[in-house]
Amino acid sequence: MNFVWCALAVLAIWSGAVESQQSNENLEHVVVETKSGKVRGLRKSTLLKNFDYFSFKGIPYAKTPVGSLRFKAPEPVEPWAPAIKDATEHGYTCVRPTQFFIDKEPQSEDCLFLNVYVPGDVRPEERLPVMVYIHGGAFQEGSGNTDTYGPDFIVEHRVILVTFNYRLGVFGFLSLGTPEYSGNMALKDQQLVLKWVQENIGCFGGDNQAVTLVGESAGGASTHFHLISSESRKYFRAAAPMSGTTFNYWAFSKQNDHTDYAYKMAAELGQPKQSYNELVEFLKTVPADKIYQHGNVIDLLKRTARGVFAPVIEKRDAIQPFIVEPPSKIYSESRIDVDTMFSLCAAEGLTFYMKALDEMYNYDGLNCNFTLKLPFDEAMVPYDSPEYQNIAAEIRKFYFKDSAIDKNVLQEYIDFISDLNFAYGIDKAARQQAAQTNRNTFFYRFSVDSKLTISKRLNPEVHQVNGAGHGNELCYMFRCGAAQPFYDDILANKDDEQSRVSLRTIDNLTKIVTNFVKYGSPGYYGDPVDLAPIQNNQVNFVDITNEGLRIGVNPNAAANELWSRVERQVQDYNQRNAKSTFCNARV
């Protein structure tokens, strides 16, 4: 892209030529001119190193998706020039139910905002690498705000960070299976952010040819969706899916068409509809709070969690389709030549134990009747079949040996939940990517148990479980505003062992991530690690532990081999019985 049109705006940040003024609160404001208009941000400093950076929050990137735009792909924001838009505070977060989190952030459908954080020492002639981060939250919750995603530890490594909101739950994924309403609005929001970065990040001193996409959980799966999208790949050079991929069963909705749900919702709200056109008009006008109150969030059954409103495979006649084939087919027909770095936490399932999900942690039920949904698409093996009983017995024996399943085997249970819902799908995706690219594919595991391992800080019941839970790396990568008391404790007690572990982990993890953003590798001349990529189906990985960084091979090897064997057994069963009619054991 030609950056001439915004070159003066870039110079203005660093020279103060456009605007640099001291407010009554002694805050320095800076103004940048984007393609859509000027935005006014603030100069701030980081928590640990007092490093200056520029903060621009709440920049709109799309029109408000209401009325005729609701449940459709986003449209770029209208220019606001010549006005200067205030970018000192976050915009609204997206409308959502709050099944898992205590959430007090103001919500609105007017929520498509992004945030840009720029290292304060960038020179006018520089183009800094850019990290675009997609937040997690089961496709139902969360935002890109600083309550979790503060930029402090990233910008200290001279990387520009972009975070953002995207539509969630029913607003982000409702599909009527028609060309006009084909679903995946959230993924299309994310793609529009990538386009915005291409067009505007040069105005902030960023290099639009050095963009890396990173995300965790549902954000990790989203990152993988963009990795396999030929359209999205135009806008970044590297990708790092964390704790989530398109090969995790929960990355897709239980159903591709939610029309029956929409008719049911209208009827339950006292406005039954008789035709498709009536239904569409209803969906355009019904108040947002009525919609999300009727939105099924996560279906918790048989130790798995899968949402109704999640990505779908769209039909080819969709007006703006995001994905029209399964990931496995895309990989079989494509080479995806992008540097990647996959990761997982050592005890992913630990976090969900903290949430006291009775169905997922129903020990008695599992002990008496060991049945579970198998984490594969098209897993059609009926629960009462001999084949399923043999599979279930093999899984139980692997994790629990001959023990009763109760709280006395909590570690084993957490391992089981972690592998079922996360580890196997992530390993499979990483190996698939490595096999289909001429670029490097890296892998790390996060195992730190220290002061910022939030799941254990909030739930004493799981202290005896080894490793870190789902999302527990986030407050080492970002300054989590909601966890400020934990940072205060670390800074007040720097010499205590756990504080030293926490500070060392922040340094190691952020170096690994920002090195990947800068250089396409987690290590730079051995700092902080010299890690080989996945080669010849061998997963070389670095384990981030309390004791430091440890190099290993094939993490979780025995469990991954088990689930690979089970998946082959399911595929064989389906092939043998392809012409018969069965109840789908996963529905």
Report which of residues 200 and 379 the model is more confident about: 200
Would you state the structure tokens that stand for residue 208, as one six-digit string? 């639009």
Residues 290 and 349 in one domain: no
* Cis amide linkage into residue 179, ω under 30° from 0: no
What percent of the chain clears pLDDT 90, i.e. is strictly above it? 76
DSSP state, residue 28: E
Q: Would 187 be classed as within a structural domain? A: yes
Residues 104 and 164 in one domain: yes
Q: Which residues contact 146 (CB under 8 A, 6 or more apart)?
A: 57, 90, 115, 479, 481
Q: Are 241 and 432 spatial neighbours (Cβ–Cβ below 8 Å)?
A: no
User: Rounded distance, CA 218 to CA 534, Å?
Assistant: 24
Q: Would 227 be classed as within a structural domain? A: no
Q: Are 374 and 382 spatial neighbours (Cβ–Cβ below 8 Å)?
A: no
Would you state the structure tokens that stand for residue 122, as one six-digit string? 């960038």
Q: Which domain holds residue 495?
A: 345-503+524-535+555-576
Mean pLDDT across the stretch 246-251?
96
List, for residues 92-129, the tens digit of each pLDDT value: 999 987 655 556 788 999 999 999 999 999 988 899 99
User: Rounded distance, CA 181 to CA 23, Å?
Assistant: 47
Residues 394 and 468 in one domain: yes
Residues 408 and 351 in one domain: yes
Residues 270 and 151 in one domain: yes
Helices (H), 327-409: 327-333, 350-354, 363-368, 386-400
Distances (CA, A) of 330 to 194, 246, 336, 500: 21, 11, 9, 45
Q: Are strands 540-545 and 441-446 parallel, antiparallel or unpaired?
A: parallel
Q: Are 493 and 533 spatial neighbours (Cβ–Cβ below 8 Å)?
A: no
User: Rounded distance, CA 492 to CA 165, Å?
Assistant: 34
Residues 484 and 531 in one domain: yes
Residues 287 and 377 in one domain: no
Residues 275 and 365 in one domain: no
Residue 173's pLDDT is what?
96
Q: Would 448 be classed as within a structural domain? A: yes
Q: Would 516 be classed as within a structural domain? A: no
Residues 292 and 388 in one domain: no
Q: Structurally, how many domains does the chain consist of?
A: 2
Residues 358 and 291 in one domain: no
Q: Would 513 be classed as within a structural domain? A: no
Q: Are 284 and 67 spatial neighbours (Cβ–Cβ below 8 Å)?
A: yes
Residues 207 and 353 in one domain: no
Q: Are 442 and 551 spatial neighbours (Cβ–Cβ below 8 Å)?
A: no
441 strand-pairing partners:
340
Residues 274 and 351 in one domain: no
List, for residues 151-191, the tens digit of each pLDDT value: 999 999 999 999 999 999 999 999 999 999 999 999 999 99
Mean pLDDT across the stretch 75-95?
96
Q: Look at residue 300 and tell me whether its pLDDT is greater than 70.
A: no
- For position 166, which CATH number holds? 3.40.50.1820
CA-based radius of gyration for the chain = 24
Cα–Cα nearest to 13, from 207, 199, 204: 204
Q: Which helix (H) or strand (E) holds 427?
A: helix 424-435
Q: Are strands 298-301 and 206-216 parallel, antiparallel or unpaired?
A: unpaired
Q: Would 562 be classed as within a structural domain? A: yes
List, for residues 416-433, the tens digit of each pLDDT value: 999 999 999 999 999 999
List, for residues 366-408, the tens digit of each pLDDT value: 888 898 888 887 667 888 999 999 999 999 999 999 999 988 9
Cα–Cα nearest to 510, from 457, 471, 482, 474: 474
Q: State the chain's mean pLDDT as an integer.
A: 90
How would residue 292 be classed by pLDDT, with cut points 50, 70 and 90? confident
Mean pLDDT across the stretch 266-276?
94
Residue 363's pLDDT is what?
73
Residue 323's pLDDT is what?
98
Q: Token pair 């001999």 is at which residue?
A: 386
Sign of CA pseudo-dihedral 458, 461, 463, 469: negative
Q: Would 511 be classed as within a structural domain? A: no
How would residue 296 be classed by pLDDT, with cut points 50, 70 and 90? low
Q: Would 416 be classed as within a structural domain? A: yes
